[in-house]
Each structure stands twice: as C-alpha cells, then as structure tokens.
Structure 1
Amino acid sequence: MHTFKKKDQQGILTVKVSKEEWEQAVETVYQQNKTKFKVEGFRAGKAPRRVVEQHYGDQVFFEDAFDAVVNAAFSSFLAENKKIVPASHPHADIKSFTVEEGLVAELKFDLMPEFELPDLTTISAKKGEAVVTDEQVEAELEATKASRARYVEEDKTAENGDFAIIDFVGTVDGVKFDGGEAKDYRLELGSHTFIEGFEDQVVGMNKGEERDINVTFPANYPAENLAGKPAVFHITLNKVEKKVLPEIDDKFVSDTTEFETVEEFKNSIKENLQKMAEERVERDYEVALLDEIAEKANITLGDAMIEHELLHMVEDFEHRLSHQGMTLEGYLQYLGKTVEEFKAERKSDAEKNIKTRLVLQRIISENKISVTEEEMDKEIALYASKYQMNGEDFKKAMSPNDYAFFQNNVIMTKVLDLIKAKANKQ
C-alpha cells in the first residue's frame, strides 16, 4: 500500500512493505547472490540463508532488498500514475522497520514543473540590426597585416616594444619544473605575457648576454606546485627583433589573396563580416524569443533539477579545462573561488537552460514536430558537402549519436521557424 502527496515542487511517496513482501525480497536477494558468500564447510552457493546471515550478520541482505522493494514500488507507482513525471531520482528514507511489521519508507523526488505555454503570437522580442562598420573592416585589415608580419633582427639593446629571442631555464629551489624551459622563445617586451617582473629584467640586455632573472609566481598561479614560490630563470638573449608590418596595397593583395585590388579585398572582408553579423543577430533573436517564452510560462523549478544542471555544467567546464592542460581546482584557485561560489555564479544560467529545454520540449510535443527521412538526408548531405563528402557515404559511417545530433538540428530549426512565424503577430 502506498500513499502520495505533493509539496511545492516535490513528490512524497510513502511505501509500505508487508512482512511477507519483505521476506520475499530478502529471499530473492539471497538466491541472486548466494554464490558470492564463502562459508566454511559449504561449497559455493550451498550455504543456507540462515547460515549466511549468522556468518555475515543479520543485515547482510538488507541494503539490496531495500533497494529492490523501493525501486519496484516507485516503478509501479509511476506506471499507474502516468501524469506524474519525476525530475530527479528519489531519495529514500526508512521511517520504520521490523521483521514482524515489515517496512515503511518515504521517497522524496522533484516533480517535473507544471506550466502552460503562453500564446506564441504574444511574444514580442525584436530582431536587432546587423551592422558592419568601417572600423571593423580596418581591424580585419590590421589582423591581416599582423598575420603577415616579418621579424627583422636589430643590432641594439633590448627595450619595451622589441621582440627578444631568448633561451631560458627556470628553477624553483634549484629544481627545474615542467614548462620552465624553452629555446629561441620570441617574447614581446612590455606585453606582460610572462610573470610580473620578468620582461622588465630582459630590458637593457644585449645579444649574447646571459642573466639570472628572479621572479615570484603569483599566489593564485594555476600550477599549485609553483604558486607563491620564488623562481630563478637563467636566460640567454639570442637576438633582438622588431616587427615589420606589410603595407596593404594592390600588390600585397594580389600576391597573398584571391583578389586583385585592395578595394576587392575590403569588399570581401565586409561581406564576410556582414554574414557573421547577420548570423549573430539571428542567434540573439532566437535566444530572446525563447527567453520571453520561458519567462511568460512562469516555470517554478525544484532544487534537485537546478543542482543536477549545475553539476552537469561544472563537469562540462572541467572537461574543457582538461583539454587546456588545466584542472578545475587549479583554475578556481587562480580565481580565488570555491566550487560552491563557482556554482552560485552560474545558478541563473542553469535555471535558464532548464526552462529553455522545457518550453522547447512542450512546443515540440504540442505541435507534433518530427523529422522525416527526406529531411534527415538533406541535412546530412548539406553537412557532408562542406567536407567534399558524399552524403550517402557519410550517413553510412555515422554513429547513433551522430544521427541524433543531426535529428536534433532539424527539429530545432523547425521549432524555431514555427516560433518566428507566430511571434510579433499582436
């Protein structure tokens, strides 16, 4: 016999297990696991249950039996009450238990929020304007210059603004450390890319000169074994260079690009910037539409849903840090933050993520949005063509996860098109 009640965004299911049901659960666990228990005088799996309990303790089967009856009760309850949708795994507490009376347990779990979608024609988010300025075009030209820069050696004393080509070996307490050694490293003096004080001590050196540079790693340095410690870098200045930028003229353009004149090159840059600006404006518009829908839906989230999303966000961030050779612990130490502070800063983003998913799922469900095989083939062929691949060959090589990725892309395009078609109609 089970009883259920709702409290805020939480479901509370009281599970009552009779003496007979409990006995059956324990016996089932014993039968499933009896070969794992070694009892002197018995072959594996042949020791009677009472002997195993005497040897290993009366509670030897309790945990598995408890999990079995609770999970069975929860599954049965959900099967009989399909309108109740859990948003988290249940947390079970024992309220009472005796061999004579059986078990009473209380299961608490977050409920999927109940909400109504707003009328999509009332959504009033506006699309911004994609604007490209002359300054942006010039910035791209400067970036092109920088990418084609030459470095010319100069016979002079190193000073800020120069590029020092150095060999260095760093030690802490007389011991070398990972990442503390390099040959012919190009360092822009005055750029503050190295530890504070390092570049200042290179200024004034001449070609071929050697010097010991004394610095102290910051207390919040990501590498914990170096944080706050004094270090000595023995450096050799191999040469001093200056950066020479090319002149952007017709000859430069024709020699280095597919265009013949500076004007053609600028127009191409502007077209690309315009395309990127339009894509960015479109993405921002889609986000604004979904934000407004979620806000008008008045969704109340349970703590467990938010915490689960936060944990997922932290794990994802930790994974991305690992590709940069960093740990979350080291990163947070560098920022001077705890994991809880890090999560607290992202709580609003976690809530937004959940609400956006919920309204999207509801719109998809209510409008019966699906994907046809033809739509999938078109999406896959479009993607494959970007890599000069045949669509059918690409499709055959796809994994189930790849297929789900493209399927989700098509669904998202269709649902966003639907929202855009209905929005701003009042």
Structure 2
Amino acid sequence: MQVQLETLGQLERRLSFAIPREEIAKQVDARLKRVAKTAKIDGFRPGKAPLSIVSQQFGFRVQEEVLGETVERSFGEAVAKDQIQVAGYPRFEPKEGSSEEGDFEFVATFEVYPEVKLGDFAGKEIEKPTLSVSDAEIDKTLDILRKQRTRYERVERAAANEDRVIIDFVGTIDGVAFDGGTAQNYAFLLGKGQMLPEFEAGIVGMKEDEAKDVTVNFPADYQGKDVAGKTAVFAITVKNVAEAKLPEVNEEFAKSLGIADGDIAKMREEVKSNLEREVKFRLKARAKENVMSAIIETTPVDLPKALVQLEIGRLAEQAQADLKQRGIDPKLVPLSPAMFEQQAQRRVHLGLVLAELVKANGLEPKAEQIKAIIDELAQNYEDPTDVVAWYYEKRERLAGPESMALEDNVVDFVLSKAKAVEKAVGFDELMGQQG
C-alpha cells in the first residue's frame, strides 16, 4: 500500500493512501458468495439465486461495506507502522482527481497527540487550605441541624421577617387579572427573598385575617415577560402567621440524631467525627483543585480539537442526564457547546499532562492505597463491611477509588516539589453556608 504523510499544522496531519482495486474486487466477490447462500430474492428459493442476480441487488452495498472496512484497517496499519498516536477520529475522503479505473485513493485528515514537556514545580507556590474543627464549628453545625428541624407555631401578632405566612392573593394590572398572579393558601417565609421585595414588605405588619392591597413594580428584566416592567396591584389576605420554633439541644434532640440513649456528649462527639470527615474531604478537594491549576499553568500543551469536541459531547450528555434526573425536559433548556468548551479544554489539558506525570514518576496507585480509600468511603454507611465487599465484587467498581488514589498521588507529588503555602479557611466558606 502506497502511503504519504503530510504535516498540516501543529497537530494536524494528512495521510494519503491507495488500495488496489483488485484487492477490493476479490473481497467483494468472496462476500457476495457468502451472501448468496442465504439471500432471499423474489422468484428464487432462499440461497438459490444466481450470483449475477445477487450481485445486481447487493453488489453496491457490499462494496461500500468492504471499502469502508478496508480503508479503516489500512489507515490503522499505516499509523501503527509509523507509531503515530491519533487523537480522536480521522476524517476519510476520496482523494481529489483520483481515477475511477485505477486504485482506490483516499486521504485521512486527523490530529495527533501533542508532546508533553512537564514543567518544573520547584518554587511554585500552591495554596493548601487548613481548618481545625473546634467547639465553634460543632455549635454551628448543631445550629444548622436545629434549623433543619424547625417547627412553625401560629401566633396572633403582626407578621415579621423570619415568620412563615400563608396568604391568598389576586394580582391585577390595570384592573385585569394576569396569569400566575393568583394563588390560595400560598405559604412562604418572610424576609428570605422568595417573593419580590415590595410584595414581602407589604405583608410585614399584617395580622391573620387582615386584607390589604399592595402595589408591586415588576423589574424590567423579570422572568415573566408578560408582566416585566409593569405595575401590579395585589389584593392580599393573610390566612396564617407562624413563628419559627427551633428544638432545644437536649436528650430528645440527641435521639433524633441517632444517639440511642440521648447522651448529649456522645452526640457532640458524633457530630465532631462526621464534621472532621467532611472537612477533611473538602480541604482535600480544595488542595487538589489548586494543584491541578498549578499543573495547567506549569505545563502548557497544544490541545487536539478532536479531543476537546469529544469531551464537550460527554459533558453535554451528562448535563442532559442530570436534567432528566431532576425531572426537567432537556429540550426546555438550551445547551450550547460553548457552555462546556472551557471545562472541556481544562479536562483534556489535565488528562494529557497527568498521564505523562504519572508515567514519568511512577505514581500509579498501589493496592493498599485503594483499599484505604474504600475503607474510608465505607465509614459513611451503616454496615461498612458490606460496602467494602461490594466494591471488590466487580473489577469495574474499583475504577472510582483507583482514580481517587491516583489523584492523591499526583497531589502529594506536586506538593512535595512545589512550595505549599498553608492558609486557614473559614468554616462557612469551606462548607458553602449562607449566614
């Protein structure tokens, strides 16, 4: 087979090759003979039609199949022979000006993997966040757990921020009711921004069974286009005002958190243990993200467009699956490739560099590392032994822990070479909590 390789750009290549017409003809003839043994053609019993008739009916399709398979196989053999690493999928096209009588001539346009020259991490400052779990963090967590168990009790006083109100309302614009402007027994919390500010401000100070008209100016960029920029009047009737009642931190509360004997000291220890595990996980994730950013900054790489496009496709599929899982029709949410391009580029960049980093420094995870990660993951479940057994039941289930162990090795290696700068991080910031 005649082969010619051209360099079109930094990563783009073009391979021209020819396939003898006689070779294709032999393969087509052999395949048609196999097809003829079972072919069902009108006027003939199955497998009894003459080869000439079989060729008339199936010849074109068989030749297309044989030619496609041979082109792909020939390309694979050519790049393997020259040890060319193809990134993504090649684009095959007939060569311009090729003769219809001579050999079949094709060109394959494709990209190759870039050469990755690992950067030097020496002197590179990488932030390593730190946080120690103290009584203050335990108290904050208990406060959050109390708020999650909030009860609302009816009061006869005027409504105030933080109260839950139940209302009926009818909204009109120029005296005409509009879609979405009417509701009955609608419950929400005052002062939490669940409704427009003027709407909520109008309810503050109202008592149960009180009725009032409240004027509301819809913002020009309001999501409801029919009312955006318009002024509405809401006839509001308060049906119920209730204030929040948080449970006390007592024996009953401890039991609600799974402490059988209601011992408050045990409860705090349990909360501390869970919190330390979660804090450790989040600190580790922050440090890993900082290391990955340092890897990208230290080792620039030309990214194959084909790999980026494949990653964009994967991210879009994941986003669609997430929407479906949340009960949202993906057709209602436009997902353009541009939305995923930056993330896809980062993933491809990291994938290329990490592969070289692991290979060059022997950072493949060891069995005991994977086992330690599985043991730690299992602690989040009621029966850790069953969880550990589940992971080792099937080889593919180890992929997640193996990936985590690999990332740990990379992070530890980079931090050992770079200048790790410890920085205390706030509890609320780390946990992503709102005040």
Q: What range describes the TM-score normalised by the shorter chain of this pair?
A: 0.7 to 0.9
1:245-275 alpha-carbon deviations (Å, 9 max, x no partner) = 45x6xxx3555246758xx96x997887676
Q: SS at the partner of 1:61? A: helix
Residue 355 of structure 1 corresponds to 349
Residue 112 of structure 2 corresponds to 111
Tell whether 2:419 aligns with 1:424: yes
1:10-409 residue pairs with structure 2 within 5 A?
10-31=12-33, 33=35, 38-48=40-50, 50-55=52-57, 59-82=60-83, 84-95=84-95, 100-121=101-122, 123-130=124-131, 140=141, 142-155=143-156, 162-165=163-166, 186-189=187-190, 191-193=192-194, 206-207=208-209, 239-245=240-246, 252-253=249-250, 255-257=252-254, 260=264, 279-332=281-334, 339-343=336-340, 347-387=341-381, 388-390=383-385, 394-395=389-390, 398-409=393-404
Distance in 1 separating the partners of 2:221 and 2:48: 62
Aligned-residue offset at 1:402: 0.6
Aligned-residue offset at 1:101: 0.9
Aligned-residue offset at 1:309: 1.1
Aligned-residue offset at 1:198: 8.2
Aligned-residue offset at 1:47: 3.6
Aligned-residue offset at 1:28: 4.8
1:388-416 alpha-carbon deviations (Å, 9 max, x no partner) = 33279715763332122222233332333
Aligned-residue offset at 1:301: 0.6
For structure 2, the 5+ residue unaligned runs are: 170-178, 228-233, 255-261, 421-435
Distance in 2 separating the partners of 1:36 and 1:294: 58
The 3 A distance-change label for structure 1 pair 118 and 190 is closer
Confirm or deny: 8 A CA contact 1:53 1:60 kept in the other structure.
no
Confirm or deny: 8 A CA contact 1:14 1:105 kept in the other structure.
yes
Distance in 1 separating the partners of 2:36 and 2:155: 82
Distance in 1 separating the partners of 2:225 and 2:348: 40
Residue 171 of structure 1 corresponds to none
The 3 A distance-change label for structure 1 pair 305 and 341 is closer
Confirm or deny: 8 A CA contact 1:3 1:15 kept in the other structure.
yes
Aligned-residue offset at 1:17: 0.9
The 3 A distance-change label for structure 1 pair 415 and 47 is farther
Aligned-residue offset at 1:241: 1.9
Distance in 1 separating the partners of 2:391 and 2:295: 38
The 3 A distance-change label for structure 1 pair 306 and 117 is same
Percentage identity across paired residues of the two chains? 21
1:278-316 alpha-carbon deviations (Å, 9 max, x no partner) = 554443333222322333322101211111111111111
Q: SS at the partner of 2:107? A: strand
The 3 A distance-change label for structure 1 pair 299 and 55 is same
Normalising by structure 1, we get a TM-score of: 0.72
Confirm or deny: 8 A CA contact 2:165 2:188 kept in the other structure.
yes
Amino acid at match of 2:398: Y
1:355-410 alpha-carbon deviations (Å, 9 max, x no partner) = 11112111222233444444444443443354333279715763332122222233
Distance in 2 separating the partners of 1:374 and 1:132: 28
Query: How many residues matched?
Result: 398
Amino acid at match of 2:94: I
Q: Which stretch of structure 1 is more off in the superposition, 137-146 or 289-298?
A: 137-146
The 3 A distance-change label for structure 1 pair 396 and 268 is closer
Distance in 1 separating the partners of 2:195 and 2:133: 35
The 3 A distance-change label for structure 1 pair 253 and 182 is farther
Distance in 1 separating the partners of 2:278 and 2:189: 32
Pairwise CA RMSD of aligned residues? Answer: 4.8
Amino acid at match of 2:362: K
The 3 A distance-change label for structure 1 pair 200 and 321 is farther
Aligned-residue offset at 1:107: 1.0
Amino acid at match of 1:286: K
Q: SS at the partner of 1:5? A: strand
Q: Which stretch of structure 1 is more off in the superposition, 116-125 or 24-33?
A: 24-33
Distance in 2 separating the partners of 1:245 and 1:62: 77
Distance in 2 separating the partners of 1:122 and 1:27: 67
Q: SS at the partner of 2:298? A: helix
Confirm or deny: 8 A CA contact 2:157 2:207 kept in the other structure.
no
For structure 1, the 5+ residue unaligned runs are: 169-175, 222-226, 333-337
Aligned-residue offset at 1:151: 0.9
Confirm or deny: 8 A CA contact 1:163 1:240 kept in the other structure.
yes
Q: Which stretch of structure 1 is more off in the superposition, 358-367 or 26-35?
A: 26-35
The 3 A distance-change label for structure 1 pair 54 and 182 is farther
Residue 426 of structure 2 corresponds to none
1:161-180 alpha-carbon deviations (Å, 9 max, x no partner) = 54234699xxxxxxx99xx9
Distance in 1 separating the partners of 2:277 and 2:32: 67
Q: Which stretch of structure 1 is more off in the superposition, 365-374 or 14-23?
A: 365-374
Q: SS at the partner of 1:325? A: coil
Amino acid at match of 1:94: P
Aligned-residue offset at 1:351: 1.4
Q: SS at the partner of 2:101? A: coil
Distance in 2 separating the partners of 1:355 and 1:166: 54
